[in-house]
C-alpha cells in the first residue's frame, strides 16, 4: 500500500473509535509517557492539540506549567509557549492553536517533541497528514538533535511504512500499549 492509501485506512480506523475507547486509550498512553525517563527529565516539551481523534494528551497538562504548541505559518511550524489554562483559537485545518502573541520557543529551549502521527513503524518512521510540516521542522537547523517521540494508538504501529528520501525517523514511539525507543536511538545512547 502507498502512503495515501495507508493514511486513509489508518485515519478511518482511528475515527471509528468510540469516545469511551478514545479516552481509555489516551489516558493509558499518557500514563506510559509519564513513566518514561525521557519525559520525566524533560523540562520544556512540544506537544499538540488533538485533532481528528488523535490521542488526547489532556491528562499530561497538569504535569507541566509550560508547554509548546504549534501554529502553522505558511509551510512551517512556529512554536509558542502555552500554559494549559490559556485559551486556544482555531487555525488553518481547524486545529486549535496558541495565541500568535505568546512567546516563541527556539530549538535550544526544547527538551522533547511529542509528534502526532497517523502511523509509525518499528524503525521510528512516521506517516502524518501529508503536509510535510514535521519533516521540514526536523531537518532544519537546530532541531535535528532534539529527542522525538511519535504518539499513536497501538493499532497504528506497523512493521514497516513506505519511506521517502525526506522522511526522518523518530527516536521512539509511545502508544497505549508501550513506550519504545528505536534500536538506533538505543544504540546511540549506549555509545
Ligand X SMILES: Nc1nc2c(c(=O)[nH]1)N(C=O)[C@@H](CNc1ccc(C(=O)N[C@@H](CCC(=O)O)C(=O)O)cc1)CN2
Ligand Y SMILES: Nc1ncnc2c1ncn2[C@@H]1O[C@H](COP(=O)(O)OP(=O)(O)OP(=O)(O)O)[C@@H](O)[C@H]1O
Contact residues toward ligand X (CB under 6 A) are 48-51, 54, 70, 72, 77, 93, 95, 116, 128-131, 133-134
Q: Does 119 help bind ligand Y (rule: CB under 6 A)? A: no
Are 55 and 29 spatial neighbours (Cβ–Cβ below 8 Å)? yes
Counting every residue written for the chain, the total comes to 191
H-helix or E-strand spanning residue 128: none
Alpha helices by DSSP H, listed for 120-173, are 133-138
Residue closer to ligand X by CB (options 35, 164) is 164
Binding residue for ligand Y (CB under 6 A) from 93, 100, 131, 186? 131
- Comparison of 116 and 124: residue with beta carbon closer to ligand X: 116
Binder among 129, 155, 158, 177 for ligand Y (CB under 6 A) = 129
Assigned C-alpha cell, 111 = 527538551
Residue 164 binds ligand Y (CB under 6 A): yes
Work out what residue 135 binds among ligand X, ligand Y, none; the CB cut-off runs from 5 to 8 Å by kind. Answer: ligand Y
Partner whose binding site includes residue 164, from ligand X, ligand Y, none (CB under 5 to 8 Å by kind): ligand Y
- 127 vs 3: CA distance, rounded Å: 7
Q: Which does 47 bind (CB under 5 to 8 A by kind): ligand X, ligand Y, none?
A: none
From the list ligand Y, ligand X, none, which binds 100 (C-beta under 5 to 8 Å, kind-based)?
Answer: none
> 81 or 127: whose CB is closer to ligand Y?
127
Q: What is the rounded distance in angstroms from the CA atom of residue 158 to the CA atom of residue 161?
A: 7
**46 is an interface residue for ligand Y by CB under 6 A:** no
For ligand Y, the binding residues (CB under 6 A) are 3, 127-136, 139, 164, 166-167
Amino acid at each position: 500500500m502507498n502512503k495515501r492509501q495507508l493514511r486513509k485506512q489508518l485515519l478511518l480506523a482511528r475515527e471509528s473509535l468510540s469516545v469511551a475507547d478514545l479516552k481509555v486509550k489516551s489516558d493509558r498512553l499518557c500514563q506510559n509517557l509519564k513513566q518514561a525517563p525521557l519525559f520525566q527529565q524533560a523540562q520544556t516539551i512540544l506537544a499538540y492539540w488533538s485533532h481528528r481523534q488523535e490521542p488526547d494528551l489532556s491528562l499530561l497538562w497538569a504535569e507541566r506549567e509550560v508547554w509548546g504548541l504549534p501554529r502553522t505559518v505558511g509551510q512551517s511550524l512556529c512554536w509558542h509557549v502555552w500554559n494549559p489554562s490559556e485559551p486556544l483559537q482555531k487555525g488553518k485545518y481547524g486545529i486549535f492553536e496558541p495565541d500568535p502573541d505568546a512567546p516563541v520557543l527556539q530549538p535550544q529551549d526544547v527538551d522533547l517533541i511529542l509528534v502526532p502521527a497517523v502511523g509509525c513503524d518499528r524503525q521510528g518512521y512516521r506517516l502524518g497528514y501529508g503536509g510535510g510540516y514535521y519533516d521540514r521542522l526536523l531537518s532544519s537547523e537546530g532541531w535535528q538533535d532534539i529527542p522525538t517521540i511519535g504518539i499513536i494508538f497501538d493499532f497504528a504501529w506497523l512493521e514497516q511504512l513506505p519511506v521517502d528520501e525526506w522522511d526522518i525517523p523518530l527516536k521512539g514511539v509511545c502508544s497505549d500499549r508501550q513506550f519504545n525507543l528505536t534500536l538506533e536511538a538505543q544504540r546511540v545512547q549506549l555509545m
